[in-house]
């Protein structure tokens, strides 16, 4: 009996290791469709989040091919394309972004890693300056609490960079009343409003501000997901079984598409939790 149990445990470990290797080096394509009378023209966007300098193929050719196959009209980025680590290379993210910017309009909102490099130059040196300069050279200007109107489509895209205190570990900080209104201005009612907001914890506040569609990341799907139950296990804030872990969420009339991200950091693995490339159809 003991031999059978030992053999079973060994097989289970091997299966788990295989799943870890498999899920840590693949991505799946997810799709979400929006219909709204304010949208003037049908269009398609691909959504990237939490690449963290991950490569799918030597020059990210697998990811680029998948993006091109979707034939997007533009690219939306919800932050953390790089990893804030002193001396870390930013080349994989910049090469991918450079290729995308040649072919599509790119609307980029920072995540906590892009923000952190700017906040702590003593730790990260000139990483933020070099990254921003490289983005500018390839024609990308991150939307730091800014927005752009896409009148052809009847869509407004906002990029939120919230204060670092809202990335607090263990227990989320309460967001100040009208913080988003003061930071972003008033959400326009006459167009369909897309908010690129890296941290999904404040989805109720994003919805109350006036976002129609929120695109977030940050949680990495909870790193590992419990089979059958489907819940993510742990958030980067070290909270177990986070409420917002990945997928589609609703708050009143607002919808949040929460990507499980494309890369990894800190805990460099995925279990029952492949990376995601999201495609949003607007009509």
pLDDT by residue (tens digit) across 241-280? 999 999 999 999 999 999 999 998 877 889 899 999 999 9
The pLDDT confidence band at residue 14, using thresholds 50, 70 and 90, is low
Counting Cα atoms < 13 Å in the Cβ hemisphere of 162 gives 26
**Cβ count within 10 A of residue 91:** 13
Reduced to 3 states (helix: H, G, I; strand: E, B; else coil), residue 123 is helix
19 has a pLDDT exceeding 70: no
Q: Which of 256, 276, 219 is nearest to 34 (CA)?
A: 256
Average pLDDT, the chain: 92
Closest to 75 measured CA to CA, from 53, 40, 54, 44: 44
What is the per-residue pLDDT for 96? 97
Average pLDDT rounded to a whole number, residues 33-58: 97
Arithmetic mean of pLDDT, 39-55 = 97
> What pLDDT was estimated at residue 2?
61
Sequence-distant (6+) residues with CB within 8 A of 129 are none
Structure tokens at 264: 């990894």
Q: pTM of the full predicted structure?
A: 0.94
- pLDDT score recorded for residue 105: 98
Cβ within 8 Å of residue 4, ≥6 positions away: none
> Rounded to an integer, what distance in angstroms lies between the CA atom of residue 90 and that of residue 109?
17
Q: Angle between the 112-119 and 127-138 helix axes, to the nearest 10 degrees?
A: 130
Percent of the chain with pLDDT over 70: 94
Length of the chain: 283
What's the confidence (pLDDT) of residue 6? 55
Pick the residue with more confidence: 10 or 210? 210
Check: CB of residue 232 under 8 Å from CB of residue 222. yes
**pLDDT tens digit string along 92-134?**
999 999 999 999 999 999 999 999 999 999 999 999 999 999 9
**Model confidence pLDDT, tens digit, residues 200-252:** 999 999 999 999 999 999 999 999 999 889 899 998 888 999 999 999 999 99
**CA 140, 32, 247, 223 torsion-angle sign:** negative
What is the residue whose two structure tokens read 């091109």?
A: 68
3-class SS of residue 169: coil
User: Could you give the CA distance from residue 215 to residue 68 in angstroms, rounded to a whole number?
Assistant: 20
Reported confidence tier of residue 16, pLDDT bands at 50, 70, 90: low
pLDDT value at position 1?
64
């Amino acid at each position: 009996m003991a031999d059978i149990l030992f053999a079973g445990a060994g097989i289970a470990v091997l299966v788990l290791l295989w799943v870890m290797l498999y899920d840590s080096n693949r991505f799946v394509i997810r799709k979400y469709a929006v219909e709204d009378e304010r949208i003037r023209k049908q269009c398609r966007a691909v959504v990237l989040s939490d690449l963290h300098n991950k490569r799918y193929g030597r020059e990210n050719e697998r990811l680029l091919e998948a993006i091109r196959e979707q034939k997007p009209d533009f690219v939306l980025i919800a932050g953390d394309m790089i990893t804030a680590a002193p001396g870390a290379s930013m080349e994989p993210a910049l090469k991918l972004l450079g290729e995308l910017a040649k072919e599509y309009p790119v609307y980029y909102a920072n995540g906590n890693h892009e923000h952190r490099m700017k906040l702590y130059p003593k730790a990260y040196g000139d990483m933020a300056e070099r990254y921003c300069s490289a983005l500018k050279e390839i024609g990308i200007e991150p939307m730091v609490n800014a927005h752009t109107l896409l009148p052809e489509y009847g869509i407004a895209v906002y990029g939120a960079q919230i204060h670092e205190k809202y990335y607090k570990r263990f227990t989320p900080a309460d967001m100040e009343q009208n913080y988003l209104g003061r930071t972003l201005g008033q959400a326009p009612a006459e167009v369909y409003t897309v908010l690129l907001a890296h941290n999904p914890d404040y989805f109720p506040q994003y919805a109350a501000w006036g976002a129609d569609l929120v695109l977030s990341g940050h949680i990495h799907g909870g790193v590992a997901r419990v089979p059958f139950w489907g819940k993510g296990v742990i958030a980067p804030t070290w909270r177990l079984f986070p409420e917002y872990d990945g997928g589609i969420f609703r708050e009143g009339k607002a919808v949040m598409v929460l990507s499980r991200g494309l890369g990894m950091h800190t805990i460099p693995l995925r279990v029952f939790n492949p990376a995601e490339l999201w495609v949003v159809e607007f009509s």
